[in-house]
Amino acid sequence: MPPVFGKEDGEFRVKPRGPSSLPMNGPFFTERRNRGDPDMIVKTLPVEQAVGKKISHDLTLIDPETGFKGARFRRGHVIAEDDVPLLRRMGKTNIFFLELSPGELHEDEAALLLGERMKGAGLELRGPEEGKCTLVACRDGLLHFSDDDIDFINDDPDWLFTTRPNKTPVTKGMAAAAFRIGPLSMERSRVDRARNASPLSVLPWSPLPAALVTTGREIFEGTVRDAFLPKLIKKLDVYGAPFLGQTFCPDDRDSIIGAAAAWLEKGARIIICTGGMSVDADDLTPGAIEAMCDEVVFRRVPVIPGANLMLARRRNSFVLGVPASAVFFGRTSLDMVLDRLYAGIPPSGAEVRRWGKGGLCRNCVSCSYPGCAFSARS
DSSP state of 348: P
Tell me: the pLDDT tens digits for 93-128? Answer: 888 777 777 888 888 888 888 999 999 999 999 988
Same domain assignment for residues 155 and 265: no
Return the pLDDT at 247.
97
Same domain assignment for residues 128 and 277: no
Same domain assignment for residues 26 and 89: yes
Same domain assignment for residues 356 and 222: yes
Query: Which of 22-31, 37-46, 111-120 is least confident?
Result: 22-31
Residue 20 has pLDDT above 50, yes or no: no
Return the pLDDT at 171.
97
CATH of the domain at 75: 3.90.105.10
Instruction: Provide the domain limits for residue 219.
Output: 210-375
- CA dihedral over 46, 48, 49, 51, signed as positive or negative: positive
Last residue in a domain, options 202, 218, 244: 202
Same domain assignment for residues 322 and 257: yes
CB 244 within 8 A of CB 210: yes
Same domain assignment for residues 82 and 129: no
DSSP state of 304: B
Return the pLDDT at 7.
29
Residue 205 has pLDDT above 70, yes or no: yes
Same domain assignment for residues 191 and 86: no
Name the CA dihedral angle for 80, 81, 83, 88, rounded to a multiple of 10 degrees. Answer: 140
Residue 346 has pLDDT above 60, yes or no: yes
Last residue in a domain, options 40, 70, 102: 102
Same domain assignment for residues 247 and 281: yes
Helix (H, G, I), strand (E, B) or coil at 22: coil
Burial class for 168, CB neighbours closer than 10 Å (0-12, 13-18, 19+): buried
CA angle at 127 for the pair 123 and 132, rounded to the nearest 5°: 105
Return the pLDDT at 253.
93
Across 146-156, average pLDDT: 94
11 band by pLDDT with thresholds 50, 70 and 90: very low
Same domain assignment for residues 77 and 159: no
CB atoms within 10 A of CB 304: 16
CB 62 within 8 A of CB 68: yes
Return the pLDDT at 294.
97
41 band by pLDDT with thresholds 50, 70 and 90: low
Residue 33 has pLDDT above 70, yes or no: no
Return the pLDDT at 30.
52
Q: The pTM is what?
A: 0.79
Q: Give the integer Cα–Cα distance in Å for 220 and 276.
A: 13
CATH of the domain at 252: 3.40.980.10
How many domains does the chain contain in total?
A: 3
Across 332-350, average pLDDT: 97
Residue 9 has pLDDT above 50, yes or no: no
Across 40-51, average pLDDT: 78
Last residue in a domain, options 202, 221, 248: 202
Residue 16 has pLDDT above 70, yes or no: no
Same domain assignment for residues 303 and 356: yes
Tell me: the pLDDT tens digits for 277-316? Answer: 876 656 789 999 999 999 999 999 999 999 999 999 999 9
Same domain assignment for residues 275 and 347: yes
Helical residues (DSSP H) of 134-175, grouped into ranges: 147-154
